[in-house]
Amino acid sequence: MKDVDDFLDYLKYQKTYSLYTITSYENDLKQYLEYLKREDLNYKDIKYSDIRFFLMYLKKEAQEKSSSISRKLSSIRGFYNFLINKEKIESNPFVLVNGPKKEKKLPRYFEYNELEELFKVPDTKTPLGQRDLLILELLYATGIRVGELVSIKVSDINKYDKTIKILGKGNKERNVRFGEYAADILNLYLKEGRESLNKKNCEYLFLNNLGGKLTERGVRYILSNIVKRTSLNKNISPHMIRHSFATHLLNEGCDLLSVQQLLGHESISATQVYTHVSTDRLKEVYYNSFPRAKRSHIDIK
């Protein structure tokens, strides 16, 4: 449908959303339009009662989680706002629709010893092994998003200051820092692994085995294969490493505003979720370490 195609182009070229985000919007809208077709409804003539039945369909028939329903509503709401701006419709029928209450979920993250196990998997004697370890080290050292990671160009890196220029959400630039561990594998990869992989004279830092730019999907595939070669019973995503970066900083005493800037969050509220993780960690440390935190088995008479 042309309106949907135009909306997706708008997200790509004007909002500069990542391919992963755009694909999510596309899938959400595809499901919505298929439902309308089944119910013989026109997307430009939707009423509030139609939306209620659509929400019932998502919950009962499609058995979507509350978080998924909320995301789909956000995608559809954005689509209708786009149609208003293009003067295709007069009002947004989804503007007053509230999604289901979200389940409160704390960010999943790795303990430091678990990350160490991941770091030991890649074979740094091979070009792909050097690349894969650098992916892990940079994700953890900087807390950058996977879309930001694959967009790094060699020219964005300042090896002397140990900083990387990152193009974040909304085309906002920021500089992130990395430490000695990441610097060591970066130098090795640039000297050996990347030279071997760079068959197409590509400007990007991370390359696939054909010499082209590595994709976000490619990074997820690499991380999934790495975790399968460990004893960890966890699914891995690039965002879990980002969560680990933020959580470990707070656990070591870093202030929230600094973590916000390091993560590239526009709002402090997006960063505050990590304080819950940190608080849980402090609670665990307290009860395991403080001698009078738990009642002994000896009864006081």
Active site residue 189: no
Active site residue 265: yes
Active site residue 153: no
Active site residue 248: no
Give residue for tokens 């960010």: 107
29/27 Cα distance (integer angstroms)? 5
**Which position among 162, 169, 213, 220 bears the catalytic label?**
169
**Which position among 72, 194, 242, 248 bears the catalytic label?**
242
6/239 Cα distance (integer angstroms)? 29
**Both tokens of residue 40?**
């013989």
**Which position among 59, 162, 239, 281 bears the catalytic label?**
239
Sign, CA dihedral 92-93-96-102, equals: negative
Active site residue 217: no
Helix residue ranges, H only, 159-254: 180-188, 194-197, 216-228, 238-251
DSSP character for 190? I
33/37 Cα distance (integer angstroms)? 6
Active site residue 239: yes
Q: Strand locations in 135-227, DSSP E?
A: 157-158, 163-167, 173-177
**Which position among 131, 145, 194, 243 bears the catalytic label?**
145
Annotated catalytic residues are: 145, 169, 239, 242, 265, 274
